[in-house]
């Protein structure tokens, strides 16, 4: 007679429904799309040969990686002190600050972009304030249809998830460790840098990976706030598939983006796995 434990479903069986949904809704469409890059209609590598033969396509990929890295670093640089402030203020102020973060998070990306267009354009709110109201500059700044406009729009979109991930990690850090460091003679700034920051690095890494992946696939913000030189690989894929109906080459571009993303993540996690523990590395 089988025991009660033997009759219970194992963890693998419980995961089967979720795996089936992921397979049908995620893996199968991606495999079908990528197959178009190799079979168009018969087996061919001409789409990948075209991608390597035309330098402009590689330049677009390089610009996408550069933009993703820059916006990720900027979002983390702004989000880290904001998340740290959330751990230090009272519960009432914390509620207000979190609401400020969540409000744009719930706003449609098109609404955000059009709002920034009203602020950053030549006769927008910011230039009007700087030129007319304050008189700080003589002529309006060029803040739209260039790298600056794309960066502002992307960082604004990426800040909420960065702050929430960082705050989720920071709130679990035992503040008594920082107090103990101060009690042993460390200044508050040194205790923060040598104790709190290393303990918060898992959140920084998690936020950095998520933001970087989101940045690589940006399409709407660069299309609306960027110029002719600010073309990302997502915009190129859309142009090939939607406008030119060139599914084969568009699928090849999507395959390259997927390979670059997976390779970067594999390298990242490989380096993280070989690094010493943060506490040991910091000397405490």
Q: Please, which residues have CB within 8 angstroms of residue 180's CB and are 6 or more apart in sequence?
A: none
Confidence at residue 282, expressed as pLDDT on a 0 to 100 scale: 41
pTM above 0.75, yes or no: yes
Name which residue leads in pLDDT, 78 or 108. 78
pLDDT value at 202 more than 50: yes
Q: Write a three-state SS string for the chain.
A: CCCHHHHCCCHHHHHHHHHHHHHHHHHHHHHHHHHHCCECCCECCHHHHHHHHCHHHHHHHHHHHHHHHHHHHHHHHHHHHHHHHHHHCCHHHHHHHHHHHHHHHCCCHHHHHHHHHHHHCCCCHHHHHHHHHCCCCCCCCCCCCCHHHHHHHHHHHHHHHHHHHHHHHHCCCCHHHHHHHHHCCCCHHHHHHHHHHHHHHHHHHHHHHHHHHHHHCCCHHHHHHCCCCCCCHHHHHHHHHHHCCCHHHHHHHHHHHHHHHHHHHHHHHHHHHHCCCHHHHHCC
**What value does the mean pLDDT of the chain take?**
86
pLDDT value at 119 more than 90: yes
Q: Are 126 and 152 in contact (CB under 8 A)?
A: no
pLDDT band at 277 (very low <50, low <70, confident <90, very high): very low
Q: Which residue has the tokens 């800040």?
A: 159
Q: What is the pLDDT of residues 130-176, one digit of tens each?
A: 888 888 888 889 998 999 999 999 999 999 999 999 999 999 998 88
pLDDT value at 274 more than 70: no
pLDDT band at 8 (very low <50, low <70, confident <90, very high): low
Q: What is the pLDDT of residues 237-265, one digit of tens each?
A: 999 988 888 889 999 999 988 888 888 77
Confidence at residue 59, expressed as pLDDT on a 0 to 100 scale: 92
Name which residue leads in pLDDT, 284 or 204. 204
Q: Are 172 and 203 in contact (CB under 8 A)?
A: no
Confidence at residue 259, expressed as pLDDT on a 0 to 100 scale: 87
Average pLDDT over residues 201-218: 89
Confidence at residue 5, expressed as pLDDT on a 0 to 100 scale: 52
Q: What is the pLDDT of residues 32-87, one digit of tens each?
A: 888 888 887 788 888 889 988 989 999 999 999 999 999 999 999 999 999 999 99
pLDDT value at 284 more than 60: no
pLDDT value at 220 more than 50: yes
pLDDT value at 3 more than 70: no
Q: Which domains does the chain have, with CATH numbers?
A: 45-282 (1.10.3720.10)
pLDDT band at 11 (very low <50, low <70, confident <90, very high): low
């Amino acid at each position: 007679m089988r025991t009660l434990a033997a009759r219970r479903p194992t963890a693998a069986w419980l995961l089967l429904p979720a795996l089936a949904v992921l397979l049908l809704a995620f893996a199968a469409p991606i495999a079908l799309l990528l197959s178009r890059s190799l079979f168009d209609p018969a087996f061919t590598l001409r789409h990948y040969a075209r991608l390597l033969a035309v330098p402009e396509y590689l330049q677009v990929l390089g610009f996408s990686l550069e933009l993703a890295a820059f916006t990720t670093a900027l979002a983390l640089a702004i989000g880290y002190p904001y998340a740290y402030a959330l751990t230090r203020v009272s519960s009432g102020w914390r509620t207000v600050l979190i609401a400020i973060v969540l409000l744009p998070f719930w706003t449609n990306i098109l609404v955000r972009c059009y709002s920034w267009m009203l602020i950053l354009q030549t006769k927008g709110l910011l230039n009007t304030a700087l030129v007319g109201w304050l008189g700080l500059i003589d002529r309006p700044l060029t803040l739209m249809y260039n790298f600056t406009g794309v960066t502002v729009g992307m960082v604004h979109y990426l800040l909420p998830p960065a702050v929430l991930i960082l705050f989720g990690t920071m709130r679990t850090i035992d503040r008594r460790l920082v107090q103990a460091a101060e009690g042993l003679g460390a200044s508050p700034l040194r205790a923060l840098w040598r104790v709190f920051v290393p303990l918060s690095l898992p959140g920084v890494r998690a936020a950095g990976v998520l933001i970087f992946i989101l940045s690589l696939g940006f399409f709407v913000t660069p299309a609306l706030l960027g110029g002719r030189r600010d073309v990302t690989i997502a915009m190129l894929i859309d142009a090939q598939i939607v406008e030119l109906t060139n599914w084969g080459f568009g699928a090849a571009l999507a395959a390259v983006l997927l390979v670059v993303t997976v390779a970067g993540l594999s390298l990242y996690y490989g380096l993280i796995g070989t690094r010493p523990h943060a506490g040991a590395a910091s000397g405490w």
